[in-house]
Structure 1
Amino acid sequence: MTTALITHADCLEHVTPDGHPERVARLEHVLHALQALDLHRVTAREATDEELRRVHPQRYIDRIVAAEPGQGIAQLDADTWMSRGSVRAARLAAGAGIQAVDMVMGGEAQNVFCATRPPGHHAETETPMGFCLFGTAALAAKHALDVHGLERVAVVDFDVHHGNGTQDLLWNEARSLFITSQQMPLWPGTGRPEERGAHDNVMNLPLPPESGGAEMRARYENDAFPRLRDFAPELLIISAGFDAHQDDPLANLNWTVDDFRWVTRALCDIAAETAGGRVVSTLEGGYDLAGLSASAKAHVEVLMEAGS
């Protein structure tokens, strides 16, 4: 079995204002860091409206399509922008997650990393926010449940910002488990431990500002990993944000590249125990280009080790 990389050059056509942290250079740096790795490289395809409707109503999809400007850039909220090409990029990001599920379920790859943008874990049912338009990880989970007939799918999100969108989209999905660690306090202000989902299917692990890898590892070993093993997912989806890195400009956690390597290896070990090693990882945040690219490379190298 192999590790696949799904990406598309048109994800670079989603343009944000000068100085915006979620910029084209993020994906360019990640792809450069992965260039020499022996990956099965796959071109992403767009998610259809039918697929997007698993988590977003058609009226929301139509609103996003209508918001795309013919030229220049358009602002959706204080942080979220669109340019000509943004809808295609967002559909490609969502479609990559769905493709990745199909690949691991079909035995084409042991695990997959989706190097796409815009990210997705802040997009709520009818609200684009936090640089995100469509809920990529939640869409992948719903596809695995509804199309492939799985009974248990877990999403683990280690982005420094709370995955409020994934939480919203999977809140009522009893077949899913969403585990998310995030700095608190920090935007978007959600992610308290008492936010547990309609079926006790959400676990929030707040981490204090200026904490580092030791605190993170303890929370995962004591709380996240036992819960994940008890749930015994048949597929593990990772929302792989790398903005908990100590050099990231948007937050105040102090993880190192080795911390991302450690959490990835531990998650792959659990997936090997319960899910036949099936892992789908999708790129979320990470805004220091050097920290992002080094951390993403370490993450994918561990996927490759697990998939060999």
Structure 2
Amino acid sequence: MGCALITHADCLDHLTPDGHPEQVARLDHVLHALQGLDLLRIAAPRCEDRDILRVHPQAYLDRLTGALPGEGLIPLDEDTWLSPRSLEAARRAVGGAVRAVDAVLAGEARTAFCATRPPGHHAEAETPMGFCLFGNAAIAAKHALDRHGLDRVAIVDFDVHHGNGTQALLWDEPRALVITSQQYPLWPGTGAASETGGHDNVLNLPLPPGSGGAEMRAAYEAHAFPRLEGFQPELIIISAGFDAHADDPLAELNWREEDFGWLTHELCRIAQGSAQGRVVSVLEGGYDLRALADSARVHVEELIKAGR
């Protein structure tokens, strides 16, 4: 069945101020790195309101729509910005994640990577933050559960910053297991091991500043993989942030490309056991352009291998 690449040019229209880490060039570099790979290429559709409303209230969607500038840029907070076409980009990011779930559950592809922006894992129910507007991964999980009738979906988030939004949006969802590894302490300040969800459905793996791939592998082998295998997910969704790379300017973990490859390989292996190999990955962070591109390519190469 193979691996699908889901993206859209509208995601290049979300603009941020000069020098902002979450810039258009991120997606350009990722897409360039994936050229020539054997991928089923699918245009990310524009999501429906009902997709967003699976995790966000109507008032929040209305507030963002009303705040959209006719020209220029406006800040929602010190990190998160709106430009005139930001919501079109964000709707493609949500739509791409939903389309990826549809593709792998229909057998159109076995694995999928959503090369979209803005990212999503910091967006809470009524709060945009950390460059994020909508909870892309959480929406994809709820779509799989509510629209497709799955009983168990797992999200694994290996972005260097804690996915506080995904955790909050799925805190009271017993059908979803949320596993996140992150540098700790680090912005946004959440992600302690004591945060375990409303139904013991959240597993946080805090990693100390300066640690590298060896510490990450040990934590996943000791804690994350046994929880995943015990949960028996019917679909695994990856929040794929590549800012744990040693070269990333926003954090202090020391992963290398091979660490992202190893982790992706292992998650795909576990998906073979209970999820018929079905894995959906959505792009989150990664702010050194070369490290982002190289790591994303290794990640997608593993998804391609798993999709065969």
Using the alignment, how far apart are the partners of 2:256 and 2:67 within structure 1? 38
Q: Name the SS of the counterpart of 1:286 in structure 2.
A: coil
TM-score, length basis structure 1: 1.00
Q: Name the SS of the counterpart of 2:4 in structure 1.
A: strand
Q: Between 155-164 and 63-72, report the one with greater CA deviation.
A: 63-72
- Tell me the CA shift for residue 34 of structure 1: 0.3
Letter in 1 for 2:74: A
Using the alignment, how far apart are the partners of 2:5 and 2:216 within structure 1? 27
Report the counterpart of residue 284 of structure 2 in structure 1.
284
Using the alignment, how far apart are the partners of 2:67 and 2:193 within structure 1? 35
- Tell me the CA shift for residue 303 of structure 1: 0.3
1:180 and 2:180 matched: yes
Q: Name the SS of the counterpart of 2:186 in structure 1.
A: coil
1:139 and 2:161 matched: no
Q: Deviations over 1:116-138 (max 9, x none)?
A: 00000000000000000000000
Using the alignment, how far apart are the partners of 1:98 and 1:64 within structure 2? 21
Report the counterpart of residue 23 of structure 1 in structure 2.
23
TM-score, length basis structure 2: 1.00
Using the alignment, how far apart are the partners of 1:51 and 1:137 within structure 2? 12
Report the counterpart of residue 119 of structure 1 in structure 2.
119
Using the alignment, how far apart are the partners of 1:126 and 1:220 within structure 2? 31
Q: Deviations over 1:83-117 (max 9, x none)?
A: 01100000100010000000001000001000000
Report the counterpart of residue 33 of structure 1 in structure 2.
33
Letter in 1 for 2:99: Q
Using the alignment, how far apart are the partners of 1:66 and 1:195 within structure 2? 34
Q: Name the SS of the counterpart of 1:215 in structure 2.
A: helix
- Tell me the CA shift for residue 268 of structure 1: 0.2
Using the alignment, how far apart are the partners of 2:8 and 2:67 within structure 1? 22
Report the counterpart of residue 232 of structure 1 in structure 2.
232
Using the alignment, how far apart are the partners of 1:83 and 1:225 within structure 2? 40
Using the alignment, how far apart are the partners of 1:207 and 1:47 within structure 2? 35
Report the counterpart of residue 110 of structure 1 in structure 2.
110
Report the counterpart of residue 168 of structure 2 in structure 1.
168
- Tell me the CA shift for residue 36 of structure 1: 1.1
Q: Between 261-270 and 61-70, report the one with greater CA deviation.
A: 61-70
Q: Name the SS of the counterpart of 1:162 in structure 2.
A: coil
Report the counterpart of residue 13 of structure 2 in structure 1.
13
- Tell me the CA shift for residue 46 of structure 1: 1.3
Using the alignment, how far apart are the partners of 2:213 and 2:186 within structure 1? 18
Map 1:70-85 → 2, pairs under 5 A: 70-85=70-85
Report the counterpart of residue 269 of structure 2 in structure 1.
269
Letter in 2 for 1:4: A
Report the counterpart of residue 294 of structure 2 in structure 1.
294
Give the number of aligned pairs: 308
Using the alignment, how far apart are the partners of 1:240 and 1:120 within structure 2? 11
Q: Name the SS of the counterpart of 2:180 in structure 1.
A: strand
Q: Name the SS of the counterpart of 1:42 in structure 2.
A: strand
Using the alignment, how far apart are the partners of 2:234 and 2:139 within structure 1? 16
Percent sequence identity is: 69
Q: Name the SS of the counterpart of 1:130 in structure 2.
A: coil
Q: Name the SS of the counterpart of 2:254 in structure 1.
A: coil
- Tell me the CA shift for residue 68 of structure 1: 1.2
